[in-house]
């Protein structure tokens, strides 16, 4: 008998009909004799709708109350999914993140899972029940308050539970057939991959492919959880995310990722001295702001410019956080630009293969796209460009590197 953790995303449980269908799928696995822990997201756009409501009431809501509010979305779908199963005669129980024993730090709205105490889950499994866990949430130990795990956080709930329960597999059910060479909503002939390594998926997710939350991939890689991403609407086999490289092929570029929700911050006139970068980035770290794509220009007369990107919704917080230090170190000013986006090519061996970077820049140039910043890692090259050109860039690179399948 195998233990399987399944996660159904928002679209998959987006209506009463869809919840009933998900329940039928779960019932089928249950009857095959698997032990099942099922993580569900909030129905459809519930989380977005709740955020909108909160911001209409208070433009700057307290993160604690935000978590209190947002965690309710997943409780609704967990309860309804359990009821749908019970209606099919399958024993099931819905648990909140807290009841499932998910303990986090107290960084409200983007808490990290610290530990899971799965006693209750194990007891319920022992009784032969399907355990439905409300995704995206846990609780912190100081006050026992509910926390949420950042957007897309139900993926993290599922992978973390799979790791702790030593599940045979973690299945992420979503609205596409698996991981594609690019977002299929933007590139119609994007090809589904059968396999992608943890490292490549980390870069894809880190550079914006929202199909898997970045932290969940990190957890999967750390605890070597085999993950399958597949559709909840058909029986296709999906994509395995796992260890190791595929047999070396000539094609190094595995996929194109993009992100339109970033902003670029530039600190102008930074004195080029030891310790300055630390001074600038420490306050951002303390506020748990995700800084990415840091580029420092060559200094001239002991003065340099420093640019980096942050999620657009954290731009205001970022500027507030660095205002003091910028004065203190004697830098000239802070500029920001929230009309930027980024596009990345991802794949093993990209950095060590001569010509790939040149080819990327050539493709973008031919498409008339200006590159404003470039960052690289061992398995990715990222270009910051105008936001309205991001989709064009994704399609041009996908074509240029011949990643497409049949249309």
Annotated binding-site ranges: 7-10, 47, 74, 174-175, 185
Determine the interface stretch with ligand ASP among 27-35, 118-126, 150-158, 201-209 (rule: CB under 6 A). Answer: 150-158
Choose, by CB under 6 A, the member of 5, 10, 101, 310 that binds ligand ADP.
Answer: 10
Choose, by CB under 6 A, the member of 37, 121, 176, 331 that binds ligand ADP.
Answer: 176
Q: Which two tokens stand for residue 210?
A: 């929202």
Which residues partner with 170 through β-bridges? 5, 227
Q: Site for ligand ADP (CB under 6 A): how many residues?
A: 20
Residue with smaller CB distance to ligand ASP, 78 or 396: 78
Q: Which two tokens stand for residue 231?
A: 């559709």
Q: Which of residues 146-205 bind Mg ion (CB under 5 A)?
A: 152
CA 137 to mean position of chain CA atoms = 15
Choose, by CB under 6 A, the member of 6, 18, 41, 207 that binds ligand ADP.
Answer: 41
Whether 398 contacts 405, CB under 8 Å: no
Counting contacts by CB under 6 A, is residue 77 touching ligand ADP? no
Beta strands in 300-372 (DSSP E): 303-311, 333-337, 340-346
Residue with smaller CB distance to ligand ASP, 42 or 384: 42
Helix 154-164 × helix 214-223 angle, to 10°: 10
- Whole-angstrom distance between the N-terminal and C-terminal Cα of the chain? 40
Counting contacts by CB under 5 A, is residue 255 touching Mg ion? no
How far, in Å, CA of 78 to CA of 95, rounded?
7
How far, in Å, CA of 117 to CA of 150, rounded?
21
Per-residue contact string for residues 1-40; x = within reach of ligand ASP by CB under 6 A: --------xx------------------------------
Cβ-based neighbours of 65, under 8 Å, separated by 6 or more: 54
Q: Which candidate, 65, 117, 62, 64, places its Cα nearest to that of 95?
A: 117
Q: Which of residues 121-140 bind ligand ADP (CB under 6 A)?
A: none
Choose, by CB under 6 A, the member of 11, 47, 104, 382 that binds ligand ADP.
Answer: 11
Choose, by CB under 6 A, the member of 210, 231, 290, 338 that binds ligand ADP.
Answer: 210
Binding-site annotation: residue ranges for ATP: 7-10, 174-175, 185
Q: Which two tokens stand for residue 332?
A: 């000239």
- Could you give the C-alpha distances from 236 to 173, 193, 375, in angstroms and in order? 11, 12, 36
The dihedral built from the CA positions of residue 173, 175, 178 and 183, taken in this order, carries a sign that is: negative
Counting contacts by CB under 6 A, is residue 135 touching ligand ASP? yes
Q: Which of residues 154-173 bind ligand ASP (CB under 6 A)?
A: 154-155
Q: What, of Mg ion, ligand ASP, ligand ADP, none, does residue 171 touch, CB below 5 to 8 Å by kind?
A: none
Binding-site annotation: residue ranges for substrate: 47, 74
Q: What angle do CA 313, 360, 387 make, to 5 degrees?
A: 25
Determine the interface stretch with ligand ASP among 147-155, 224-232, 233-241, 399-407 (rule: CB under 6 A). Answer: 147-155
Choose, by CB under 6 A, the member of 25, 151, 279, 386 that binds ligand ASP.
Answer: 151
- Could you give the C-alpha distances from 295 to 17, 85, 153, 195, 393, in angstroms and in order? 49, 52, 29, 32, 21
Counting contacts by CB under 5 A, is residue 400 touching Mg ion? no
Counting contacts by CB under 6 A, is residue 199 touching ligand ADP? no
> Residue with structure tokens 């698997």?
34
Counting contacts by CB under 6 A, is residue 153 touching ligand ASP? yes
Q: Which candidate, 133, 150, 115, places its Cα nearest to that of 74?
A: 133
Least separation in angstroms between residue 319's CB and ligand ASP is: 25
> Which 3 state secondary structure label does DSSP give 104?
strand
Binding site for ligand ADP (CB under 6 A): 9-12, 41, 152, 174-176, 179-180, 182-185, 204, 209-211, 255
Binding site for ligand ASP (CB under 6 A): 9-10, 41-42, 47, 73, 135-136, 151-155
């Amino acid at each position: 008998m195998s233990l399987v953790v399944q996660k159904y995303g928002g679209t998959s449980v987006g209506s009463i009909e869809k919840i009933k269908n998900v329940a039928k799928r779960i019932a089928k696995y249950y009857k095959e004799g698997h032990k099942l822990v099922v993580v569900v997201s909030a129905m459809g756009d519930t989380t977005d709708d709740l955020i909108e409501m909160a911001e209409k009431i208070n433009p700057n809501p307290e993160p604690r109350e935000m978590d209190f509010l947002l965690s309710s979305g997943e409780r609704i779908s967990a309860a309804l999914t359990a009821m749908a199963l019970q209606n099919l005669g399958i024993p099931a129980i819905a648990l909140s993140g807290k009841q499932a024993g998910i303990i986090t730090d107290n960084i409200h709205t983007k808490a990290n899972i610290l530990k899971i105490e799965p006693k209750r889950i194990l007891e319920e499994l022992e009784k032969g029940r399907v355990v439905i866990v409300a995704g995206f949430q846990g609780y912190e130990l100081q006050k026992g308050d509910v926390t949420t795990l950042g957007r897309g956080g139900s993926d993290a709930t599922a992978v973390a539970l799979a790791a702790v329960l030593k599940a045979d597999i973690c299945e992420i059910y979503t609205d596409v057939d698996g991981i594609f060479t690019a977002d299929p909503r933007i590139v119609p002939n994007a090809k589904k991959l059968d396999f992608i390594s943890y490292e490549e998926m980390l870069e894809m997710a880190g550079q914006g492919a929202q199909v898997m939350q970045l932290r969940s991939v990190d957890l999967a890689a750390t605890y070597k959880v085999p993950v399958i991403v597949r559709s909840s609407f058909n029986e296709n086999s999906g994509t395995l995310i796992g260890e190791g490289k595929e047999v070396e092929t000539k094609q190094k570029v595995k996929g194109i990722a993009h992100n339109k929700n970033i902003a670029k911050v530039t600190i102008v006139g930074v004195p080029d001295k030891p310790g300055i970068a630390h001074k600038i980035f420490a306050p951002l770290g303390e506020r748990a702001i995700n800084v990415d794509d840091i580029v420092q220009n060559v200094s001239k007369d002991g003065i340099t410019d420093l640019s980096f990107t942050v999620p657009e919704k954290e731009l205001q917080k970022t500027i507030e956080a660095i205002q003091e230090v910028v004065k203190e170190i004697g830098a000239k000013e802070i500029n920001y630009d929230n009309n930027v986006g980024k596009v990345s090519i991802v794949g093993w061996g990209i950095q060590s293969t001569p010509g790939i970077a040149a080819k990327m820049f050539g493709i973008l140039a031919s498409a008339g796209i200006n590159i404003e910043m470039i960052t690289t890692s061992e398995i990715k090259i990222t270009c910051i460009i105008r936001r309205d050109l991001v989709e064009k860039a994704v399609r041009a690179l996908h074509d240029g590197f011949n990643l497409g399948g049949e249309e």
